[in-house]
Structure 1
């Protein structure tokens, strides 16, 4: 049984493992646990599923030989003795996680109970996938995890190593982007203290789209990809054909491949995007507050970021202009970053992971 992001997506490491097993392990029955809001998506992909929390689900899920998931399961859900639970997680950590967060700023969430819930969850895991040794060390401590770690690279990144130019061309076509347009992907994260209610977070653009259009609209299109916890619905109708809301696009891996440049902030997307050897810009307009008050970081991002950090619209636009001409592979900081975080990303992570967790 597979789940991705609370059973609402067909994406990420669980999808990569599912696709690998479907091709190479035909003897297994592979099923997805799916939230009712995502049923249409799974039917479009023709993926076998059971609707989450229905009677057939309660009969099937606890009897599965394996669970593959990338976030925490509900606290009330026990793991049966004979089920192997593979936790894939969903990113190399920049911002502090789990037990490493000193104070929780999320709505209706007490710091102590949040940390206790993480510990109760990690006790259920039989295996945890890690993309690199840096993450392994953090995961063990932040999740209070003492089980087996499979340090393989991330299965979801295999496609970033194995892709073809034809695939990129097809993806742009599917998104409705003209072949001659360059593509920038804007993929920020959420802020713990800016929310409507628990699990629904606010987000406000910190650069003006009218100014962006004047500066880049002739050559570029902008793909706007919000974090799955961000509740905003953006109206980009005034910028049709120029700005695309791809927040509900099934899997961000396609958006990485279709884009020529990434703009992000504290999201872990840049660890994956660096595999493509394309420019990354960090638009960290609230850096001091995020670093010192909200979360804190595991690495010195100002020293080790594989691209420029900017804080204003003007700096952002200047960085875009200069980075479009740059070859990031000539940067020693970029090369060092890839050596530290991407050395296992060789296109074979799913194969290694599956071999490690199958009984």
Structure 2
């Protein structure tokens, strides 16, 4: 492809994060002949570099920026109507290995929603995939017959990079976490009804007071809501608690900072596995989610790389003996990593940029 002059970047409708961020930072370090435009949520403008052009997402200005772009990168659907100019290339990095069903495979979506999102799919030129499982089900869900690059995820390169330890220290310091503190990252997925109906309360499915009582002296809990419901958890302030749903904007920073992750059905589990650190599941609504709410592509649970827990009390018991858990689940964890992280070697960013002719 011809070298583009204008690149528009979009991550989760306006964050400075995910694979678009990793690709952008690599290009900025290597080339100074490109004009970069980021789509932004206005409340997150302060999290972006000061020397980049920002355009508010989901606005006529965003549509005009996209229509003038030579190259577009996005980590999810761009939900604004625009017409791709002739010769432009749209790279969809996507944002996770699918455990729960997506797009045309979901059990339910608001009327007309999938048709709206599918108009964005029709603009894509290249779809990235992290592993063979994702390749199979992303192509199925999007009915994708275009070009696909199974590259690994650029966003995960930092987890294998030489700067990982330095970034870990930087993030923990920025969050005010003392050395020696055990950091627990709680990063569940969203429930479809809560995401689509913004009038609904979004509960935290972990009993925070019990966590504080049991582990608050030497643990810090990081709460990371899914992008679809970020900003809708209402939690009290505590020394042992940080709501990091909006900042830092990039969940990779939290992967670096944390010692253990708790999730449910989120694709964060596959990225977290790159770290090799303990992974626990708090899945109180497992049957409901799998059969009614969304549905799964695979029955992960009999061979899960960590314990599948049904209550906060079970979770607290598990967190008290992480070395024992690591030993108990070592073989399952190794098999999980072999299956779902085969390309996560710290070089996915360069593979993608070289494929596009953007790096030599």
Contact 1:13 1:88 in 2 (8 A): yes
Distance 2:258 2:134 in 1: 26
- Write out aligned runs for 1:48-87 (5 A): 48-52=52-56, 59-74=64-79, 76-87=81-92
Q: 1:245 aligns with which of 222, 226, 243?
A: 243
Q: In the alignment, does 2:42 pair up with 1:36? A: yes
Q: Cα gap change, 1:328/1:151 in structure 2, threshold over 3 Å: closer, same or farther?
A: farther
Q: 2:27 aligns with which of 3, 21, 24?
A: 21
Distance 2:319 2:220 in 1: 13
Per the alignment, residue 5 of structure 2 pairs with none
Contact 1:65 1:82 in 2 (8 A): yes
The number of residues matched between the two structures is 347
Per the alignment, residue 120 of structure 1 pairs with 119
Q: Cα gap change, 1:208/1:54 in structure 2, threshold over 3 Å: closer, same or farther?
A: closer
> Quick check: 95-104 or 53-62, which moved more?
53-62
TM norm structure 1? 0.90
**Which secondary structure state, in structure 1, belongs to the residue aligned with residue 16 of structure 2?**
coil
Q: Report the alpha carbon displacement of residue 276 of structure 1 after superposing the two structures with TM.
A: 0.5
Per the alignment, residue 106 of structure 2 pairs with 101
**Which secondary structure state, in structure 2, belongs to the residue aligned with residue 244 of structure 1?**
strand
> Quick check: 62-71 or 160-169, which moved more?
160-169
Q: In the alignment, does 2:292 pair up with 1:293? A: yes
Contact 1:183 1:222 in 2 (8 A): yes
Q: Cα gap change, 1:311/1:330 in structure 2, threshold over 3 Å: closer, same or farther?
A: closer
Per the alignment, residue 207 of structure 1 pairs with 206
Per the alignment, residue 3 of structure 2 pairs with none
Structure 1, unpaired ranges of 5+: none
Distance 1:144 1:203 in 2: 32
Distance 1:302 1:206 in 2: 19
Distance 1:115 1:34 in 2: 23
Contact 1:94 1:266 in 2 (8 A): yes
Distance 1:35 1:164 in 2: 28
**Which secondary structure state, in structure 2, belongs to the residue aligned with residue 96 of structure 1?**
coil
Q: In the alignment, does 2:195 pair up with 1:188? A: no
Per the alignment, residue 170 of structure 2 pairs with 170
Per the alignment, residue 159 of structure 2 pairs with 160
Distance 2:30 2:178 in 1: 36
**1:295-332 CA distance string (max 9 Å, x none):** 11111121232111001122111221233444369621
Distance 1:206 1:347 in 2: 33
Distance 1:47 1:328 in 2: 47
Contact 1:67 1:85 in 2 (8 A): yes
Per the alignment, residue 276 of structure 2 pairs with 277
Distance 1:201 1:78 in 2: 34
After superposition, the CA RMSD in angstroms is 2.1
> Quick check: 328-337 or 301-310, which moved more?
328-337
Distance 2:318 2:328 in 1: 17
Distance 1:340 1:29 in 2: 38
Q: Report the alpha carbon displacement of residue 29 of structure 1 after superposing the two structures with TM.
A: 2.0
Contact 2:73 2:90 in 1 (8 A): yes
Structure 2, unpaired ranges of 5+: 1-7
TM norm structure 2? 0.90
Per the alignment, residue 3 of structure 1 pairs with 10
